[in-house]
Structure 1
Amino acid sequence: MFPKLHPRLTAGVLLATSLAALAAGCGSNDDKGSSSTGASSSGKGAKIALLLPENKTARYENQDKPFFEAKVKELCPGCQVIYSNATQDAAKQQQQAEAALTQGAKVLVLDAVDVASAGAIVTRAKQQHVPVLSYGRLVANAPLDYYVSIDPYKVGQQQAQEQLKALQAAGKSNPRIIMINGSPTDSNSAPYKKGAESVYKEGGATIVKSYDTPDWSPDKAQQEMEQAITSVGKGKFDAVYVANDGMAGGAIAAMKSAGLKPGQFFVTGQDAEVTGVQRILAGEQLETVYQPLKIIASKSAEIAVPLAQGKPVPSGIAPDKTDNGAGQVPSVLVPTLSVDKSNVNDTVVKDGFLKSSDICTKSYRSACQEAGIQ
């Protein structure tokens, strides 16, 4: 028997609280980092370091960075963002953090390449009395000041629930699942996996193959899917759990190469990348999980700006607590939403997260019309 699945919340209900809170609250990329500045209207400028982990996943350069910089500029025109992307290199990120501290950063907003080794970055910042906000991924066993992200366990549950619902509708009982999970160095990967596994267990699904994918690499995901098809057999699985859209692209490429039709295997995803949404509209991918990155980035900026200026952080902005092994970290956990063909227009397009012109290229115009995307 499948578990009783809760109806999907609409985008407006799910995100209304976070958006209301936001309303009330109110450079270039290279190895060494870059900065953007504005003229100060308050005379209280400060330097804020934004340290992101990689650029294989489109969100970091296209969403997180510009959203964060825009909110900082809105809140503090005189503040300077020192930006660096570590390109999945933990040692490089350590160097980038050291460089930001040397340049006078008054707060680090850190999305760690490796959440275990990144504790050294937090320790170094604390030695200079610089607070650290853990962004997206929770740095383990370190004295963090704040954490802003989503609830990864719930994301895994969302993905698996949508998948099992589709399998049930297709008449697939006791389905067999191949799992392609995220990077073991990402603190979110294990909760994504455990959340999905909890739903599969309750729903009577069997996991026939499971991989933890280094660096969230689409190429490695493609190789893993090729191995799974060979090992399990073409007719021996019913669905493919994939932790994000980039890797879903790799898994789908492997299925196509093997002569399989990806749409028959209810492939999951995450991040609402343009290519992921296009695959959903084309019937190759079942769903993606939409993280409202604008809210995540904006909330992080609302915390980082006063920290950098030596001012109190607004009361109530971080109502949650998350245990990272070193203590209970004040947290903001932003709700997420599963997106499929039926609600693309009412979620990622309506929110301005993706442009319909980017989604509805020539190859996808007909699918966009069918989905009501203007």
Structure 2
Amino acid sequence: MRTRRWQVVAALLAGLLTMSQAACGGDGKAGSGSFTVGLLLPSRSVPRWEHSDRPLINKRLKELCPRCTMEYANAEDDADRQRQQLTSMITTGVRVLILDAADAKALRSSIIEAHRAGVPVVAYDRLAEGPVSGYVTFDGAQVGRLQGEALLKAMDGRVKSSQVVMLNGDPTSPNAAWFRKGALSVLAGKVSIGRSYDVQGWSTDDAHAQMSAAVAALGPDRIGGVLAANDAIAAGAVSALKRAGVRPLPPVTGQDADLDAVRRIVVGEQYMTVYKPFRAEADAAAAMAVALGRGDDLSKVATTTTDSPTTRRIPSVLLTPRAVTARTIEQTLVKDGVYTVDEICTRALRTACRQAGLAR
């Protein structure tokens, strides 16, 4: 009887194991079938998050794991809200998190919470503190260098006779310091930095206020260029310069290739932007999330490692950004399908587009 009883128990255990493997895709690997990936983005003030990153990540996730689902939340520039969103996703059972932290330091405790719950975190676009499992971004030093080089070229003969205003990104973002360091590696010793401001929340309104303060302090005729960390900041700088009656406008840099910024470049209000092919970044993040969800390491995805203030040798992908001016919009943004000529060239911009070689 005892032998028969053990045979029954063994058969039941074998059946349960088979069912468990089938639920996981049939090979015993955790997550090789269906699971949920949580995506947490930081704000709506920068258009790219909603218009580019979110749909691209979701599309690539479905391609790599057709039965996977994505749960999404936007912090709207509120780190406390993002902490709550992250905790909620852990509670509802997401297997992996892709996180662009609203505040890299403030989210550290939440990332520790995820780690303890067995939920790996992929840091997206900016490196958060804590035990993150992977990191995907663009080379921030190169972003700054592209901006600095473009600004020097645009200023040309005015380098010695005028000053540069630096409108840096949000100080809570490690990327802001990265961009600034890259820009200064080009500008230091070649131009005079008249004023340098940190722009809270990468806010257009705050950038407008800071640029207005710079004009008042330096005078409208002494500003030879504006190093704006991204396109939202550039928008605030341009509006402040126009309101102060600065003519002609000095060259203004940017980043993210927002549609409004591209249109400002066409009409000559902004000199350049930095295009970061979002599809490549989204693809790498989705690939990391799927690998982690299936219990695989990141050796086939990551190309390098990065150290954060809290974690060493994080598997990473650092992508290459590209500078865009009026003359290179077609070879970059239009060619890559980011925008069509018709989207850029509204009726009011037709003449400017023709001069930039865009309108047919």
With the length of structure 2 as denominator, give the TM-score of the two structures.
0.88
- How big is the shift at 1:228? 0.7
Displacement of 1:372 after TM fit?
2.6
Q: Which amino acid aligns with 1:178?
A: V
Q: How does 1:1-374 map to 2 (within 5 A)?
A: 44-140=33-129, 142-168=130-156, 170-173=157-160, 175-202=162-189, 204-261=190-247, 263=249, 265-313=250-298, 315-325=299-309, 326-374=311-359
Deviation at 1:41, TM superposition (A): 10
Q: What is the deviation of 1:317? A: 1.7
Task: Tell me the alpha carbon deviations over residues 115-146 of structure 1, each in whole angstroms, 9 at most, x when there is no partner.
Answer: 01111121001111111100001012x11111
Measure how far apart 1:173 and its partner are.
Answer: 3.2
Number of paired residues? 330
**Which residues of structure 1 form unaligned runs of 5+?**
1-39
How far is 1:309 from its partner? 2.7
CA contact (8 A) 2:139 2:319 kept: yes
Superposed displacement of residue 268, structure 1: 0.3
Q: Equivalent residue of 1:239, what SS? A: strand
Which is higher, the Rg of structure 1 or of structure 2? Answer: 2
Any conservation in 1 of the 2:166–2:227 contact (CA below 8 Å)?
A: yes
Contact 1:135/1:148 (<8 A) preserved: yes
Give CA-to-partner distance per residue, 1:314-360, whole Å, 9 cap, x none. Answer: x3321111110221211100100000011000101110112222211
**In structure 1, C-alpha distance between the alignment counterparts of 2:165 and 2:107, rounded to whole Å:** 31
- CA distance in structure 1 between the aligned counterparts of 2:25 and 2:351, rounded to whole angstroms: 49
| Matched position secondary structure for 2:241 | helix
Segment drifting more, 272-281 vs 347-356: 347-356
| Cα deviation digits, residues 51-78 of structure 1 (max 9, x gap) | 0000000000000000000000111111
* Residues 64/262 of structure 1: CA separation in 2 closer, same or farther (3 Å cut): farther
| Other structure's SS at 1:342 match | helix
* Native 8 Å contact 1:106 1:130 kept in 2: yes
> Which amino acid in structure 1 is aligned with residue 185 of structure 2?
S
SS in 2 for 1:166: helix
Query: 1:306 Cα shift?
Result: 2.1
1:138 partner SS: coil
1:220-276 deviation line (CA, Å, top 9, x unaligned): 10011111101111122211110011111111111111111364x110000000110
Query: Partners of 1:343 and 1:268 in 2: how far apart?
Result: 15
Distance in 2 of aligned mates of 1:242 and 1:71: 31
| Structure whose residues are more often helix by fraction | 2
How far apart are 1:370 and its partner, in Å?
Answer: 2.4
Structure 1 moving runs of 4+ over 2 Å: 40-43, 170-175, 309-313, 369-374
Pair 1:262–1:119, CA change in 2 (3 A): farther
Contact 1:167 1:173 (C-alpha < 8 Å) held by counterparts: no
RMSD of aligned C-alpha atoms?
1.7
